[in-house]
Copies of this chain bind each other. A is one copy, B any other.
């Protein structure tokens, strides 16, 4: 194997595939990146943790074909520290030691044979008629807005997935961990108009958001193939397993109208939560909210340490209401509101509370309150 590659091109490629490598590698080869020559002008990089696989094509001057896997961590370190010049990769046939050179730098890196890399993870055939094309920025923004409420990762838990619901020209993304929920709707270019609901492991989507900065194209195609999700651009491919099962009918949980509504300035509210939470009981994270007469009062206390109180001027003329939340859920939802004011829809102190931006965006967060005596 022998090829020359620009440092910048290789660096981008590594940054894309690197997110799929396995940190707790059961098989040593899963901590490596597969490097293989494709044709005279291209090499392929592949990394996988078996659940998630990412492939990137990188421009290179290929002089002799070949394939090998190299430790992701070492390769990453070397390429990021090399100067911005042509890097040469060379390996004699039958060997697993790769000679990497760049100007005055030389490395001999011992890899693992490419034959040990599981081929099934990236040899995926895509039938291109069951997908939709989406602008990368639109897609990543939607995932960032509505994917954060998923439950922590457990392979068996459907709630650790993010729902992508395609119906006509609308993509709905939603997640919930049972205590809170986020949902956003975006217009898309859905080729065949077929409806489809995918439950995607949130890790796969988060990694896609992370790698998207290194993808040169503007849009990607999203396909499904049996139990797999495929996100494809001309030069990159992400393959993830899908979660299977019946996701809770979350749309039924979101009230259409709320008997009481407060309009609250997002920045002042966030700062007040940030300060009042200094005195929060670390075991419960509970902050109490009292809505009354155009004022929102926030309080928190920890026995033996003290208490805190904040006031925010708001727009609220309904009956006074006391309600308590895990302050972290409030802060996380407010961070996704890209607007000046948030509309808070209230009912009783035990009802799910609705947060919506004071804009045209079709975005909603739902938070369950905490019962207090």
Q: Please list the residues of chain A having a beta carbon within 8 angstroms of any beta carbon in chain B.
A: 71, 74, 77-78, 81-82, 97, 104-110, 271-272, 274-276, 278-279, 304-312
Cβ contacts under 8 Å, A271 to chain B: 81
- Of chain B, the residue at the smallest CB distance from A297 is B104
Q: Determine the distance from Cα of A275 to Cα of B77 in the docked complex, in whole angstroms.
A: 8
Contact at B275–A108, with CB atoms within 8 Å?
no
How distant is A102 from chain B, measured CB to nearest CB, in Å?
9
Cβ contacts under 8 Å, A77 to chain B: 278
Contact at B310–A78, with CB atoms within 8 Å?
no
How distant is A276 from chain B, measured CB to nearest CB, in Å?
8
Contact at A107–B308, with CB atoms within 8 Å?
yes
Quick one: given A274-B81, A275-B81, A278-B81, are A304 and B110 in contact (CB under 8 Å)?
yes
Given A107-B309, A108-B308, 17 more pairs with CB closer than 8 A: A74-B278, A77-B278, A78-B275, A78-B278, A104-B272, A104-B311, A105-B272, A105-B276, A105-B308, A106-B309, A107-B279, A107-B306, A108-B306, A108-B307, A109-B279, A110-B304, A110-B305
**Which residue of B78, B110, B307, B312 contacts A104 across the interface (Cβ within 8 Å)?**
B312
Q: Determine the distance from Cα of A74 to Cα of B275 in the docked complex, in whole angstroms.
A: 11
Contact at A104–B305, with CB atoms within 8 Å?
no
**Which residue of B107, B272, B306 contacts A278 across the interface (Cβ within 8 Å)?**
B107
Most chain B Cβ neighbours within 10 Å, of A77, A107, A272? A107
Quick one: given A110-B304, A305-B109, are A310 and B278 in contact (CB under 8 Å)?
no
7 contacts between A and B (CB under 8 A): A74-B278, A104-B311, A105-B276, A105-B308, A106-B308, A107-B278, A109-B305
Question: Which 6 pairs of residues, A with B, have the shortest CB-CB distance?
Answer: A106-B309, A104-B311, A109-B306, A108-B306, A81-B275, A110-B306
How often does this chain occur in the complex, in copies?
Answer: 2
- Of chain B, the residue at the smallest CB distance from A76 is B278
- Of chain B, the residue at the smallest CB distance from A275 is B81
How distant is A99 from chain B, measured CB to nearest CB, in Å?
9
Cβ contacts under 8 Å, A105 to chain B: 272, 275-276, 308-310
Cβ contacts under 8 Å, A310 to chain B: 104-106
Q: Determine the distance from Cα of A279 to Cα of B99 in the docked complex, in whole angstroms.
A: 13
Cβ contacts under 8 Å, A307 to chain B: 107-108
Cβ contacts under 8 Å, A312 to chain B: 104
Q: Determine the distance from Cα of A124 to Cα of B97 in the docked complex, in whole angstroms.
A: 66
Cβ contacts under 8 Å, A107 to chain B: 278-279, 306-309
Q: Determine the distance from Cα of A107 to Cα of B312 in the docked complex, in whole angstroms.
A: 15
Cβ contacts under 8 Å, A276 to chain B: 105
Cβ contacts under 8 Å, A274 to chain B: 81
How distant is A331 from chain B, measured CB to nearest CB, in Å?
13
Cβ contacts under 8 Å, A106 to chain B: 308-310
Contact at A306–B82, with CB atoms within 8 Å?
no
- Of chain B, the residue at the smallest CB distance from A82 is B275
Cβ contacts under 8 Å, A81 to chain B: 271, 274-275, 278
Cβ contacts under 8 Å, A311 to chain B: 104
Cβ contacts under 8 Å, A108 to chain B: 306-308
